[in-house]
Structure 1
Amino acid sequence: MLHIVNKSPYERNSLESCLRLASKGSAVLLIEDGVYGATKGGSFEGKVLAAMADVKVYALAPDLSARGMADRVLDGVSVVDYGGFVDLVAEHTNCQSWL
């Protein structure tokens, strides 16, 4: 399953809930304000790093750049462009958007 999170982890609990409920082998794509969860130095860094033992985490490059976070991405998070976003959707049978 591909989980898509677009809300900041500092405003909503979408990312925290997603990471808690995502099955081993799932993928999590952070877009829009959700990319703040993929950055170094934040309070969610530990949770995201721990979750990467079971799930693959991706972040959308244009959204990281738009927020000035392109140089602060956590090690292990894969940065994708819009084509990569489309590829992830096509690769996964199911997608879940976390609001």
Structure 2
Amino acid sequence: MAILHTVNKSPFERNALESCLKFASPGGAVLLIEDGVYGALRDTAVAERVAAAMDKVKLYVLGPDLKARGFSDERIMAGVQVVDYGGFVDLAAEHDKVQAWL
């Protein structure tokens, strides 16, 4: 069963992303939204952990939330795919379940 995990909290304030990556099953996907987009940035304290997780799950970041925080696509790590709101809907429809990490 493929699960889409959404994380909306900054990894620098909460441990939602860390917990999500720990429990996400291979073949699943993680979508970083709202303040969760900070987890997709290169050269941060969590970048190594996030990069390691890409071996088992696909990582996505919501482009409008990234831009709302003043970041361009060039700031995200290699392997993280930027999606728009339509892409968010497509991801939710493609997966069996959606799990929100708060």
TM-score range, shorter chain: over 0.9
Correspondence list, 1:69-80, <5 A? 69-70=71-72, 71-80=74-83
- Between the aligned partners of 1:26 and 1:43, the Cα distance in structure 2 is 23
- Between the aligned partners of 1:52 and 1:14, the Cα distance in structure 2 is 17
For 1:30-64, what per-residue CA distance to the aligned partner results, in whole angstroms no more than 9, with x for missing partners?
00000000001110100000000000000000011
- Off by >4 Å, runs of 4+ in structure 1: none
Q: Secondary structure at the match of 1:62?
A: helix
What is the aligned partner in structure 1 of residue 18 from structure 2? 16
Percentage of pairs with the same residue = 64
- Whichever residue aligns with residue 76 of structure 1, its letter is G
- Whichever residue aligns with residue 66 of structure 1, its letter is A
Which of 63, 75, 90 aligns to 1:87? It is 90
Which of 47, 50, 60 aligns to 2:49? It is 47
In the alignment, does 2:27 pair up with 1:25? Answer: yes
Q: How many residues align?
A: 99
- Whichever residue aligns with residue 54 of structure 1, its letter is K
What is the aligned partner in structure 1 of residue 58 from structure 2? 56
Structure 1 unaligned segments of length 5 or more: list them: none
Structure 2 unaligned segments of length 5 or more: list them: none
What is the aligned partner in structure 1 of residue 101 from structure 2? 98
Q: How large is the Cα RMSD of the aligned pairs?
A: 0.6
- Between the aligned partners of 1:69 and 1:34, the Cα distance in structure 2 is 13
- Between the aligned partners of 1:68 and 1:55, the Cα distance in structure 2 is 26
